[in-house]
A and B are shown apart, each in its own frame.
Chain A
Amino acid sequence: MNAPTRWLELSVRAHQEAAETVAALLHKWGEGGVAIFQDHEQETVDHDPRPVGAWLTLTTYVPDSAAIAARRDGLEKDLWHLHAFHGDLVGELETQWVAEEDWANAWKQFYTVLHVGERLVIKPRWQDYAPAPDEIVIALDPGMAFGTGTHPTTQLCLEALEKLPVAGKSVLDVGTGSGILAIAAAKLGAAYVDALDTDPVAVSAARDNVVEAGLASAITVREGTLPLSDPAPTYDVVLANITAQTLITLAPHLRAVIAPHGRLLACGIIDAKADAALAAFDAEGLRLLDRREAGDWVLLDMERPT
């Protein structure tokens, strides 16, 4: 299935007293949810931004398809009735077409060179950078995949990975996203890296980044997840920057692919769920070597003892 390339944006201005009702109508006719924009005073984070006035702009979207006219008309009809009920609180429906390229790449201009750990440098593929002699540069175009290096979980993983004895080792990266950790492992001297992701968008972005980095012979990117087909290979180092819930579900399968005395860097864990994740790994007989935190995010550095 191809994702729609353009969407009809449906926006209504509403007083806060009617905002919830308008939001409910937008949920009914739109897709994926509702965004609400409120004018605010320019404030710093020292204060909560103070809203200005009581009017909001509520927006939803409908993908370009045959049903689009019916949904637009349905919303217009519901709004008309709402208008009759309290017209002074609800504005007119406004529409415009938006295309994915209008928003998908907007963040890129704010994505710049980033130093992580002691020697790692993450840079956008479209930007030049002259590295110092001992620096390891990872060039990325994450596209719509996760892993730009800006998120605390990715940074935690990179910092921990940099300190591991990776050189000459086999590495598995579960949930590779943009491929950032797999590429870092290969650049740190791993013998080979297998990278998995369940999201085809991520697999395609990761393959692209691996080829551009000239590491196609060292890194294999595949769509999929654990468990691996039997007999499963084992790896000296397993990287899993996913989410706490997925890590807990995968815990037995993760243990199965770690070689004896091998290491697991489990990340993407929000602090409230860290103990549950740790308990799941503990139940599999993995030993905690180190626990690192950045903001609300936790990394568990584990070892399979035997």
Chain B
Amino acid sequence: MAKKVRAVIKLQVPGGKATPAPPVGPALGQHGVNIMAFVKEFNERSSSQAGYIVPVEMTIFEDRSFSFITKTPPAADLLRRAAKVEKGSGVPNVEKVGRVTQDQVREIAEMKMPDLNANDVEAAMKIVAGTARSMGLEVVS
């Protein structure tokens, strides 16, 4: 039976280690979702991704039941690894902290393609390259 959707929420929380504290509690609580039920299920599903920030896309229905899928790590995390830098630049317009190649951007875009709101790889690459530049990473060919 088709159920009416109440809200779509994305969370980025530590794999296997979500708690009912913020941001999970307020994000779910305001929609009347049973917080502990989500926390238990998420931790069980993401236990193999401990140590990574795991993006979750959650659909909450009008009857307050929910379903969710876990996704690939954030582009910023993948870019940091690709550029071998510890963190992005706090002042991306002035200070560049590293560089990534077009090929690396394409690789990340392809990996994240199912998770990005993009119609094709070129559009996905534009999003990933935008993320790279705003972290102070130069995109080189």
Could you tell me which A residues sit within 8 Å of B by CB distance? 3, 7, 9, 16-18, 20-21, 23-24, 27-28, 30-38, 40, 42-46, 49, 51, 54, 56, 59-61, 63, 77-78, 81-82, 84-86, 98, 100, 102-107, 109-111, 142, 144-146, 148, 150-151, 243-245, 268, 270
Q: Is the CB of A148 within 8 A of B34?
A: yes
A45's nearest neighbour on chain B, judged by CB, is B3
Q: Is the CB of A33 within 8 A of B26?
A: no
Q: Is the CB of A151 within 8 A of B37?
A: yes
Instruction: Knowing A21-B131, A23-B76, A270-B44 are in contact, say whether A107-B26 is a contact too (CB < 8 A).
Output: no
Q: Is the CB of A82 within 8 A of B126?
A: no
For the complex, is B134 an interface residue (Cβ under 8 Å from A)? yes
- Give the shortest distance, in Å, between B93 (CB) and chain A (any CB): 4
B interface, over-half SS: mixed
A-B contact count (CB 8 A): 186
Instruction: Knowing A44-B5, A107-B64 are in contact, say whether A84-B93 is a contact too (CB < 8 A).
Output: yes
For the complex, is B70 an interface residue (Cβ under 8 Å from A)? no
| Alpha-carbon gap, A239 to B81, bound state (A) | 44
For the complex, is B2 an interface residue (Cβ under 8 Å from A)? yes
Q: Cβ of B64: which chain A residues have Cβ within 8 Å of it?
A: 107, 110
B43-79 toward A: CB 8 Å interface, digit per residue (1/0)?
A: 1110100000100000101011001000000111100
| Residue among A78, A142, A144 making CB contact with B90, cutoff 8 Å | A78
Q: Is the CB of B92 within 8 A of A82?
A: yes
* 20 A-B contact pairs sorted by A residue (CB < 8 Å): A7-B22, A7-B26, A9-B26, A18-B134, A32-B14, A32-B19, A36-B9, A51-B8, A51-B117, A78-B90, A81-B92, A82-B92, A85-B93, A86-B130, A102-B30, A105-B29, A107-B35, A109-B32, A144-B35, A243-B40
Q: Is the CB of A49 within 8 A of B33?
A: no
Q: Cβ of A61: which chain B residues have Cβ within 8 Å of it?
A: 21-23, 26
| Alpha-carbon gap, A63 to B19, bound state (A) | 14
Q: Cβ of A27: which chain B residues have Cβ within 8 Å of it?
A: 12, 53
A146's nearest neighbour on chain B, judged by CB, is B36
For the complex, is B91 an interface residue (Cβ under 8 Å from A)? yes
Instruction: Knowing A54-B117, A107-B32 are in contact, say whether A20-B26 is a contact too (CB < 8 A).
Output: no
B128's nearest neighbour on chain A, judged by CB, is A20
Q: Cβ of A56: which chain B residues have Cβ within 8 Å of it?
A: 10
Q: Is the CB of A81 within 8 A of B5?
A: no
Q: Cβ of B59: which chain A residues have Cβ within 8 Å of it?
A: 45, 49
Q: Is the CB of A268 within 8 A of B12?
A: no
Q: Is the CB of A34 within 8 A of B37?
A: no
